[in-house]
Structure 1
Amino acid sequence: MGTNLEISDKLQKYINDFSLKLNPVQQEILDYNNKLGDIKRMQVAISQCHFLHLIIKISGIKDVLEIGTFTGLSALSISLALPNDGKLIALDKNQETNKVALDFFKKAKQDHKIKTIIKPALQSLSEFKDQKFDMIFIDADKMNYKNYYEKSLELIKKGGLIIIDNVLWHGEVIDEKNNDKFTINIREFNKFILEDKRVEQLIFPLGDGMTVCRVL
C-alpha cells in the first residue's frame, strides 16, 4: 500500500523549480505580498496556481467566476491559462487590494480578459442574470462558504467545476480540540459537500487544501 509523501518546504521548492515557470508578474505579486506581513496568507500557493492553470487548459474552460481576489495572484493565474477569448469575472469587496490587482493585470497584459466587481460577493452573485460559468473558484469569507457554494451551483454549467480553497484550514480540521467558529464552519462545510449528491468531489492537498467539485 502506498503512503503519501510529507512535503517539506525544501521539497516544495524542488517541486516548484521543476514545474511550470511562473509569469514574471505572478512573481511580482508574490514578492509584493511577502511585504504585507501576516495578511499574505490570503494568497494561493504556487502549487495551486499551477493546478488552476492545468485544470483550465485540459478542460477547455473559457468562462470563469472568482469569489475573492485579494491582490490578484489566483485571478492572474486563471487568466493566463484562459484562451484569448476567455473571460474571468473577479468578485471582491476591498477597493484598495482591487486597485493593486488591477495594476498587476494591466502589467501582465491580461486586463482585457478580467472584469472586477467591487461589492459584497453575495450581492454580486444575486445580480447575475442568465449567465453560466465553466468554472467557479471560491476563496473568500469562510463563514459564507456554504452560501457562496449554493449560489455557485445556480451559476455553473452542467459538468462545470466549483473549486474551493482552504478546506483543510491549516490542518486544524482534524484537531478535535479546536472548536473555534472558523474551524467548525470548515468541518461542517466539508461534510456538507461530501453528502451533496449534486456533485462529485475530491480534496487535493495543495496549499491549504482545495476541493474540486464536478457538477453532475
Structure 2
Amino acid sequence: MGANLEITEKLQNYINDFGLTLNPVQQEIIDYNNTLGDIKRMQVDPSQCYFLHLIIKISNIKNVLEIGTFTGLSALSILLALPNDGKLIALDKNEETNKVALNFFKKANQDHKIETKIKPALESLNELKNNKFDMVFIDADKMNYKEYYERSLKLVDKGGLIIIDNVLWHGEVVDKDNLDKYTINIREFNSYVSNDKRVEQIIVPLGDGMTVCRIL
C-alpha cells in the first residue's frame, strides 16, 4: 500500500526548486510578513500560492471571492493567475493590512483586477448575495468557517470551487486531548464538509491544510 512522504525541510526546498517561481512582489510580501512577528502565521505557504495558481489556470476561472486577505499573498497569487479581464473581490475587516496589500497589488500591476471590501465579512457577504463566482477562497476567522462556507455555496454554481485554508490546524485536529475551542471548531467543520452531499471534496496537505470542494 502506498503512503504519503513525510515532507522534510530539505525535501520541501527540493520541491520548491523544481516548481513555479514566485513573482518578485510575492517574495516581497513574504519578506515583509517575516518582520511582523508571530502574526506572520496568517500568511499562506508558498506551496499554496502555486496550488491556487494552477487551479485557476486549469479551471479557466475568471471571477473569485476571497474571504480574508491579510497582507495580500494569497490574493496576489490569485490575481497573477487570473486573465486580464478576471476579477477578484477580497474581503477583510483590517484597514491597515488592506492598505499594505493594495500597495503590493499596485506594485505588481494587478490592482485593476481587484476590489476590496473593508468590513466584517458577513456584512460584505450580505451585499454580495446576488453575485456569482467561479471560486471562493476562505481564510478568515475560524469560528465563522461554517457560515462562510454556507454563504459561499450560494455564490458558486455547479462545477465551481470552494477552497478553505487551515483545515489541519497545525496538526492539532488529530490530538483528541486538545479541547481548544478553535481546534474543536475546525474538527466539527471538517466533519460537516466531509458529510455534505452538495460537494465532492478532498483535503490537500499543503501549508496548514486546504479543503478543495467542487459543487455538485
Q: Distance in 2 between matches of 1:14 and 1:189?
A: 33
1:212 alignment partner in structure 2: 212
1:144 alignment partner in structure 2: 144
Tell me, yes or no, if structure 1 residue 55 matches structure 2 residue 55: yes
1:159 alignment partner in structure 2: 159
Letter in 1 for 2:17: D
1:9 alignment partner in structure 2: 9
1:68 alignment partner in structure 2: 68
Q: Distance in 2 between matches of 1:121 and 1:76?
A: 19
Q: Distance in 1 between matches of 2:82 and 2:129?
A: 23
2:133 alignment partner in structure 1: 133
Q: Distance in 2 between matches of 1:88 and 1:63?
A: 6
Letter in 1 for 2:73: L
| Gaps in structure 2 of 5+ consecutive residues | none
Letter in 1 for 2:74: S
Tell me, yes or no, if structure 1 residue 27 matches structure 2 residue 35: no
2:200 alignment partner in structure 1: 200
SS at match of 1:60: coil
CA RMSD in angstroms, aligned pairs only = 0.6
SS at match of 2:112: coil
SS at match of 1:83: coil
| Gaps in structure 1 of 5+ consecutive residues | none
SS at match of 1:112: helix
1:182 alignment partner in structure 2: 182
Letter in 2 for 1:149: Y
Letter in 2 for 1:140: A
Matches for 1:70-109 after TM superposition, within 5 Å: 70-109=70-109
Q: CA deviation at 1:129?
A: 4.3
Q: CA deviation at 1:13?
A: 1.3
1:111 alignment partner in structure 2: 111
Q: CA deviation at 1:130?
A: 2.5
Q: Distance in 1 between matches of 2:145 and 2:151?
A: 10
Q: CA deviation at 1:131?
A: 1.1
Q: Is the 8 A contact 2:132 2:156 kept in 1?
A: yes
**TM-score of the aligned structures, taking structure 2 as reference length:** 0.99
SS at match of 1:177: coil
Q: CA deviation at 1:14?
A: 1.3
